[in-house]
Amino acid sequence: MKVLIIYAHPEPKSFNSALKNKAFQILSGEGHDIQVSDLYAMKWKAVADKDDFTQLENEDFLKYQVEQKKGNLKEDILQEQKKVEWADLIIFQFPLWWFGIPAILKGWLDRVLTSGWAYSYPNIYDKGPFVQKKVLISTTTGGPEFLYSKQGLNGDLSQIFFPFLHSFYFCGFQVLEPEFFWSPTENKEKRKLYLKRWIKRLKQIDKEEVIPFSKMGEYTELTSLKKPDIDFMKRPKKTDEKKK
Amino acid sequence: MKVLIIYAHPEPKSFNSALKNKAFQILSGEGHDIQVSDLYAMKWKAVADKDDFTQLENEDFLKYQVEQKKGNLKEDILQEQKKVEWADLIIFQFPLWWFGIPAILKGWLDRVLTSGWAYSYPNIYDKGPFVQKKVLISTTTGGPEFLYSKQGLNGDLSQIFFPFLHSFYFCGFQVLEPEFFWSPTENKEKRKLYLKRWIKRLKQIDKEEVIPFSKMGEYTELTSLKKPDIDFMKRPKKTDEKKK
């Protein structure tokens, strides 16, 4: 497989960095081709604005998505798009900040997944351009797992990651079960076990099944599912137990 | 009331800008004090990194939240914190991009809501520092309303905004019913009606009730609610009907 790792953490000594390095090492070892976008190291521009275009269709009124569609994109955006086109699997490695992805990573979505390239109506969801590609998100949390249950204080991670994962479904990507590392800062023993679990998963990553998502045809006029209910993201089983 | 408007759109001629300007005009007219953070105009730094601190506790290993707690924050962050401390109500005005807030606004959360100031365990949720303050989010969408139902193609906005609103609950803020403007680009007539509705709401904003949220005491060991179910964000009624 061709694997693109999008990595968003400011500290090279962090556990996120270790997870990214381990992914590089293991996946290379398994014979996959790897590219890494280290957003902090690249000083990735997070903010979407008129400077993202080599020329503007309308100088007087910036309609960002309209300009995206014209395709006069700056080189940093084009480079990322080429990597996405190349990849079979994209792994996003990042810490959970404010119940979401770091701003620098949101800026990757806002700027790279351009209108006319990542989607163009009605070619969205299972008609989207990236139906052959897979996405895996891998994240660390500050708080412990028990706070993140459906009825727990911080809410369920399937709710927390609904917007992020939905963005990928929107463009057609297939989504793998997310990988969560609960409060790895707690102690070294935990981090060792986490790395072990991560290695085991990565070695089999090309054989994993994706989380099924509703197809366009399953909707009535796109306003409601013909099926009784949508379970957008299956609640991941306790990964430790599952991996045993 | 003292009202802080956090505004995140790159185009001064946009409908988002019109909504922001209308809020300024109407709320001033009603006798409220207003401050505006126009993030694009301010060239707000979106990316959280070591440059956010005047000095680092640990030069060799950036632990961002640990450094936040030390409090050696750069001036742009301190300025925003002063505005938050001053405000009774914060209005966030932004477009919905990739099922979430623009990166520049996520960068406001990541950098301004610092550990030790916006939260410090166990002073979170209804024990958080901002329990006297209110938040209102106001957003525009690209797609029409019918796509955003619970069973609809794009999912429910209460799911989409779970992470963003949860961040405010986490610090103690009271949350008002979000204001959604569905595909205002469609036509001018729609935008006129939207502005009318917005004006009507703003004139009564100080009398509105907040969306109730579970209190810490309602959890069993913080892992589950004692009540049978949590409806995190009540599905907003169709605002047009409600406002009649």
State how far the Cα of B51 lies from the Cα of B60, in Å rounded to an integer: 14
pLDDT at A227: 55
A232-241, B72-81, B106-115, B200-209 — which is least confidently predicted?
A232-241
pLDDT exceeds 90 at position B225: no
Q: What is the average per-residue pLDDT within A65-94?
A: 98
* DSSP 3-state of A103: helix
Asked if A23 and A198 count as a contact pair (C-beta separation under 8 A), the reply is yes
Pick from A10, A104, A232: CB nearest B155: A232
Q: How confident is the model over A115-130, as pLDDT tens digits?
A: 999 999 889 999 999 9
Q: How far is C-alpha A218 from the chain's CA centre?
A: 25
* DSSP 3-state of B113: coil
Nearest Cα to Cα of residue B110 among A99, A93, A40: A99
Q: Do B103 and A106 touch (CB under 8 A)?
A: yes
Q: Do A151 and B50 touch (CB under 8 A)?
A: no
State how far the Cα of A26 lies from the Cα of A91, in Å rounded to an integer: 13
Nearest Cα to Cα of residue A10 among B102, B69, B116, B111: B111
A238-242, B6-10, B119-123 — which is least confidently predicted?
A238-242
B240: confidence class by pLDDT, cuts 50, 70, 90: very low
Residues 6+ apart with CB under 8 A from A2: A32, A33, A34, A35, A86, A87, A88, A89
pLDDT at B37: 98
Which residue from B minimizes the CA distance to A217? Answer: B153
Computed on alpha carbons and rounded to an integer, the radius of gyration of chain A in Å comes to 19
Topology, domain B2-243: Rossmann fold (3.40.50)
pLDDT at A27: 98
Return the HEC string of B174-233.
EECCCEEECCHHHCHHHHHHHHHHHHHHHHCHHHCCCCCCCCHHHEECCCEECCCCCCCC
Amino acid found at B169 = Y
Chain B closest CA to A222's CA: distance in Å? 6
A35-44, A214-223, A226-235 — which is least confidently predicted?
A226-235
Which residues of B fall within a CB distance of 8 Å from A66? none
Q: How confident is the model over B66-99, as pLDDT tens digits?
A: 999 999 999 999 999 999 999 999 999 999 999 9
State how far the Cα of A187 lies from the Cα of A209, in Å rounded to an integer: 32
Looking from the CA of B176 toward its CB, the CA atoms found within 13 Å total: 23
pLDDT at B224: 64
Which residue from B minimizes the CA distance to A60? Answer: B13
Q: How confident is the model over A141-172, as pLDDT tens digits?
A: 998 888 887 777 787 787 888 889 999 999 99
Q: What is the average per-residue pLDDT within B9-34?
A: 98
ipTM of predicted complex: 0.91
Looking from the CA of A181 toward its CB, the CA atoms found within 13 Å total: 28
Instruction: Please state whether A167 falls in left (phi above 0), alpha (psi between -120 and 50) or beta.
Output: alpha
State how far the Cα of B162 lies from the Cα of A149, in Å rounded to an integer: 14
Which residues of A fall within a CB distance of 8 Å from B50? 10
* DSSP 3-state of A35: strand
Amino acid found at B70 = K
DSSP assignment string, A182-244 = --GGG-HHHHHHHHHHHHHHHHTGGGPPPPP---GGGEETTTEESSS---SSPPPP-HHHHH-
pLDDT at A85: 98
**Structure token pair of residue A125:** 């969801």
Which residues of A fall within a CB distance of 8 Å from B170? 99, 154
State how far the Cα of A128 lies from the Cα of A14, in Å rounded to an integer: 35
Backbone angles phi and psi of B115, in degrees to 5: -60, 135
Q: At what angle do helices A15-29 and A188-203 cross, to 10 degrees?
A: 30
